[in-house]
Structure 1
């Protein structure tokens, strides 16, 4: 999962997933404009395994997170190395920021691959999720398919409990995500999961024990989506005392 190389940044002139637009409008007599992206809505699923009393998450490499970390690293002031016996120039040169790649230029063209962050910088822990891109299917059925493909559990759509829906990326996309809750057992596991390779998915299934959930949610060293934190809190507020989740952080 974390063997990332041959990185190349190119213009995105056409996409099946994102379409950029600029809207012009008047608000309280003031003329304004805003750039936004049109994209698909999505579903996510909090999965709880009642056999092992653990949450089932997915772990995957997210290029957007990786590139965001690279951009953030560029804006940080360079850390000056300690003076060497030869003086400061060598240390300052070693601490100089990496040159910015041009569009269409790979990491091997004009810059060392070591100047990119490690691939782990783009890996996140998330709820099982997927795009709403099948108009003939209900949200529950789309969520059921994602649980089967990504995590390997076969759960009837009727067993999915709708938690809530909310807007994500309100400054850029304004897309809506609908969150579900699904209880599974080891008997429901029919495959190892891992996503759909034909769609470029490479997913690792991760289990978080119930008693470690809140520590996991609030540990800032663990890269995760807001959906993980919110859903764990929802579980604590709505599923106790049936399933007691520790609140020790």
Structure 2
């Protein structure tokens, strides 16, 4: 399976002839460790409840809510994506077939870092005391380099990122931009290393065709399906 995922980079950069604006980051080492008790991103716990007088329990993880933005550049008729290493994805592939959490040094020859690199829509955590639209606007600027207004962000969906062990509230926006709004290369802030990737409408359509494989979350697929149902038919008019 991970051999297919390693090939995603080639399919994004060669087969569909897409353009990556930020150079790929070189990851030379990966290792696994325990979750610190003071993690600001994840809080594990156990929920107990009675159902028909039967006591039940489920292990849960509290995570932050998030916003996601599907960006379409009208100047070049391109959809805009981001790529970055996601540790949870890498660990999921690395430890597939085992119920234990991975520990120690990762074998990068057998499991290259590329298997954990995802294809996603622009977005981020709701970790500021601001409106969802304001946070989404900041993410568009930080990750993709476009200056947009909150009024240009069309609200599409509110949904849950997962309903098994975690259940973050997610908000999806759609936003159309043009080249004049490009004010930086993006790529994230602080230590983030985010690659910006553009695909044509037809290239992007391949991502939601039957049998397609994408190494990202459902937000990307949901956004694309909405786009092809509601926006793509009108682009040529």
- Give the TM-score of the pair, scaled to structure 2: 0.82
More deviation, 217-226/182-191:
217-226
More deviation, 37-46/2-11:
2-11
Alignment RMSD, CA only? 2.1
| Runs ≥4 residues deviating over 3 A | 100-103
1:133 is paired with a residue whose SS is coil
1:145 is paired with a residue whose SS is helix
Counterpart residue number, 1:132: 126
CA contact (8 A) 1:56 1:205 kept: yes
2:95 is paired with a residue whose SS is helix
1:163 aligns with 2:163: no
Count of residues paired in the alignment: 211
In structure 2, relative to structure 1, the CA distance for the partners of 1:18 and 1:215 (3 Å cut) is same
1:189 aligns with 2:182: yes
List runs of 5+ in structure 1 lacking aligned partners: 76-99, 245-249
The equivalent position to 1:150 in structure 2, one of 143, 148, 163, is 143
1:65 is paired with a residue whose SS is helix
**Structure whose alpha-carbon radius of gyration is higher:** 1
List runs of 5+ in structure 2 lacking aligned partners: 1-23
How far apart are the structure 1 equivalents of 2:142 and 2:128? Answer: 15
Superposed CA offset, 1:117-174 (max 9, x none): 1111001100001000112x10000000000000000001111000011011211111
TM-fit CA distance, 1:113: 4.5
- Give the TM-score of the pair, scaled to structure 1: 0.78
Counterpart residue number, 1:114: 109
